[in-house]
Amino acid sequence: MRLCIILLLLFVQSFCATAQADGATNIIDTALVKPEYPGGFDKLAQYLSLNLHYPCEAMDKKVEGEVIVGFTIGADGAVSNIQLLNKIGHGCDEEAARVVKNMPVWKPAIVNGKAVAVHYKLPVVFELPQRPR
């Protein structure tokens, strides 16, 4: 049984970019080059579909929904500071966090020609496969 995953990346206003400057955190409101998963959106969707496993408890209880995972993409592209911003339980939250934790290094965000750390929100939707009627 194949897991159906709907992945929504909120590119325009979905994350708040922050950068470290002289030990202080500044909110960046100027244009920036957004961080990018290696290979882009299609590769991110492929990574999630291959690595995200529907928890048995959630499947047994027919739990569906959206887990929103917040994390930091560092100036070096590493993923850190993983937080669950929206939970649905039954193992789905932990599974979404596990997959994000194991992501490869991203291409970092760029502001004024310099790589900066940014906060990122990734909605991961758990949807049970539809049975043919």
Task: Specify the residue for token string 């939970």.
Answer: 87
| Distance from C-alpha of 67 to C-alpha of 126, rounded to nearest angstrom | 8
The CATH topology of domain 4-13+32-127 is TolA/TonB C-terminal domain (3.30.2420)
The predicted structure's pLDDT at residue 129: 87
The predicted structure's pLDDT at residue 26: 55
The predicted structure's pLDDT at residue 17: 47
Asked if 109 and 118 touch (Cβ cutoff 8 Å), the reply is: yes
| Distance from C-alpha of 51 to C-alpha of 49, rounded to nearest angstrom | 6
Using CA atoms, how far residue 38 sits from 27, 68, 81, in Å, is 25, 21, 19
Domain locations in the chain?
A: 4-13+32-127
What does each of the 133 residues of the chain score in pLDDT, given as a tens digit? 334 333 333 332 333 444 544 344 554 545 589 999 999 999 999 999 999 999 999 999 999 999 999 999 999 999 999 999 999 999 999 999 999 999 999 999 999 999 999 999 999 999 998 877 6
The predicted structure's pLDDT at residue 23: 46
